[in-house]
Amino acid sequence: MEVDIKGHVKPGFESVRDEFARLWDEIEVGASFCVYHQGETIIDLWGGAIDREESADWQADTLVNVYSATKGPASLAIAILHDEGLIDYDEKVATYWPEFGAEGKQNITVAQLLSHQAGLSSVDATLTVEDLYDWDKMTNLLAAQKPLWEPGTASGYHAITWGYFPGELIRRITGKTLKDYFDEKVAKPLNADFYIGLPESQYHRCATLIGPNRARKQPAPAQQVKMPELFAGSLLNPSISPFKHACSAPWREAEIAASNGHSSARGLAKVYGALAANGTLDGTKIISPESLAEATKVEVDGKGKEDLVLGGQLRRARGFMLNNDNAYGPNDEAFGHAGAGGSLGFADPITGIGFGYAMNQMQSDAASTPRSKLLASAVYKCLSE
């Protein structure tokens, strides 16, 4: 696919532009990529098309659903609540949300809930996508759900259900929705182009997601990998279609912190650029270094125990994912979150990197190196030269 890469890179990072352009030799359709370094924008690139039909060019401010990359900014919202002295990670969830204490969940802490240790990766009820838009129904189901494993003894990815935890805690404590709280505390102060609950006025900026099965290149048939027993219930109840559901107006309007944030690469990079600089960017402080340190404490160290939903040994903080397999560069202290299909935002406080990558063509080959990792590797190579 021919592509005209727009934007700029700081001198010395030209090879990153070349790496970004090479993504279109494979499956890329439209994407943006932005990096902050010690408070300065050093990379700001975009190119391609907003949909498979190439009906319009991707713009600098094109928005796209970034799926689970939403979990990072939502974790930041809870961290700011901690910074205000309104929540304690070591306190029981039921202190703030009394109904949550049912079915043996009375001792689950906020830290355990946010780090996927609560045993609530799915609910017993069979869900439709429309159920996900019904906040009260989902929070009531989760409050009444019996844990699928003994809380605190293991972790398993709460792919969709996690999205109701930050929002309900914020609602119970402040009376505000997650969207309003995030806008007030993060998006507006930073002027960050990131939305949890997209206003209709911004729909015209949205790219259309393209499912893995619609990619220009398809991988060779691979041996079927057996997933853990809890995988299907956690990720496929309900099954969410990238186009039919995740590009619809109801999906965009919802406030599902696990999976429906909309952002540009600039939006992701700006949020994480602030976090990479101890919570302050361009003179705007959104969180103290102390509360950021609390939010990024290791809760799951990834040693010895595999994730009960995804398999593999993953490192988790209090909502943020911690660096694993150099996905966020070479430093273990880096933290962030990826989204289904390839989007990624992360902060590396060691080098001061705030990273954002957003695209519409979802990854088609699970065995290939993620595009975001290729870009991160290119950035750190330039930093080391």
CA separation for the pair 378, 109 (Å, rounded): 39
Sign of CA dihedral 295, 301, 307, 312: positive
Rounded to the nearest angstrom, the gap between the alpha carbon of residue 108 and the centroid of all alpha carbons in its chain is: 23
CB 340 within 8 A of CB 61: no
Ordered DSSP codes for 18-85:
HHHHHGGGTT--EEEEEEEETTEEEEEEEEEBSSTT--SB--TT-BEE-GGGGHHHHHHHHHHHHHTT
**Any residues with CB less than 8 A from the CB of 250 and at least 6 apart, and which?**
130, 133
CB 97 within 8 A of CB 169: yes
Among the listed residues 58, 156, 116, 52, the one whose alpha carbon sits nearest the alpha carbon of residue 357: 58
**Any residues with CB less than 8 A from the CB of 199 and at least 6 apart, and which?**
none
Neighbours of 303 (CB within 10 A): 7
Rounded to the nearest angstrom, the gap between the alpha carbon of residue 336 and the centroid of all alpha carbons in its chain is: 7
CB 289 within 8 A of CB 296: no
CB 351 within 8 A of CB 331: yes
Q: What residue ranges of the chain have pLDDT lower than 50?
A: none
pLDDT attached to residue 68: 98
The bridge status of strand 262-263 relative to strand 64-65 is: antiparallel
pLDDT attached to residue 222: 72
**What is 6-384's CATH number, 3.40.710.10, 3.40.50.300, 3.40.50.2300, 3.40.350.10?**
3.40.710.10
CA separation for the pair 357, 267 (Å, rounded): 10
What residue spans define the domains of the chain? 6-384
Q: Which two tokens stand for residue 154?
A: 């293991």
Among the listed residues 30, 74, 239, 266, the one whose alpha carbon sits nearest the alpha carbon of residue 170: 74
pLDDT attached to residue 2: 84
Among the listed residues 138, 76, 67, the one whose alpha carbon sits nearest the alpha carbon of residue 358: 67
Measured between alpha carbons, how far is residue 384 from residues 12, 225, 265 in Å? 11, 37, 23
- Rounded to two decimals, the pTM is 0.98
pLDDT attached to residue 223: 73
Q: At what angle do helices 14-22 and 371-384 cross, to 10 degrees?
A: 160
Amino acid at 334: A
pLDDT attached to residue 24: 98
